Amino acid sequence: MPTRWSRSTVVAGVLGVLLATVSFAPRALFAQPSLVVLVRHGEKSTEGGSDPSLSDAGRVRAQALADALAMTTPTAIIVSSLKRTAETAAVVSSKTGVVPTVIAIGGATHVADVAAAVRKATGVVLVVGHSNTVPAIVTALGGPKLPDICDASYATMFVLTPGADGKSAQVVLTHYGLADGPLPVACAGMVAK
């Protein structure tokens, strides 16, 4: 009888394999993060104006993020100045004791500032951003140019291994938590699947 693996177990396994691979990497890689996990914040409440908290579904997704990262401990957590990113990272932060670094959102330098903070870190870095910032941060860290994440999508996770010696970063696109529901036609071509 085949074994059914939960999405969180599969994500945790992928992260474990990537970490094991990085542990045998040349010393030059250790002056930068060994792995960067980037996600969009969880589902947000329809109340709260321009800075809403997470909805019930968003709080479930925050727990799913902690479950997905259960086999690794981030050494740095980076969030934006909006509540929903800090709330998404809160379960991971409370389990690990890592206090998130807050990078103000709204300025033209937000993506560059997050990328600079990631590059200064070592070990595993968790970045919780937004539908329009996460793909741009992946690109700023040496990954491919990506479209924004569909506004109706919350399950997307990027796992990035920084490149060394001028090489491109390696990026794995995966998902965590409950799958997104049917996405609007307007999302075609946006990072979602």
- 193 domain residue, yes or no: no
* Structural domain boundaries enclosing 105: 30-187
Does residue 170 fall inside a structural domain? yes
The residues near 14 (Cβ < 8 Å, ≥ 6 apart) are 159, 172, 174
8-state DSSP, 185: G
pTM of the shown model: 0.84
Has residue 9 been placed in a domain? no
Q: CB-based burial of residue 2 (10 Å sphere; 0-12 exposed, 13-18 middle, 19+ buried)? A: exposed
Would you say residue 96 lies in a domain? Answer: yes
Domain contains 21: no
Q: What is the CATH number of the domain that holds 39?
A: 3.40.50.1240
Q: Is residue 92 part of a domain?
A: yes
| 172 beta partners | 159
Q: Which pLDDT tens digit goes with each residue over 73-104?
A: 999 999 999 999 999 999 999 999 999 999 99
Tell whether 80 is covered by a domain: yes
| pLDDT tens track, the chain, 193 positions | 445 556 555 455 555 544 444 444 443 444 689 999 999 999 999 998 999 999 999 999 999 999 999 999 999 999 999 999 999 999 999 999 999 999 999 889 999 999 999 999 999 999 999 999 999 999 999 999 999 999 999 999 999 999 887 789 999 999 999 999 888 888 877 775 5
The total number of structural domains in the chain stands at 1
Quote the CA–CA distance of 110 and 91 in Å, as a whole number: 24
Is residue 18 situated within a structural domain?
A: no
Q: How many CB atoms lie within 10 A of CB 27?
A: 6
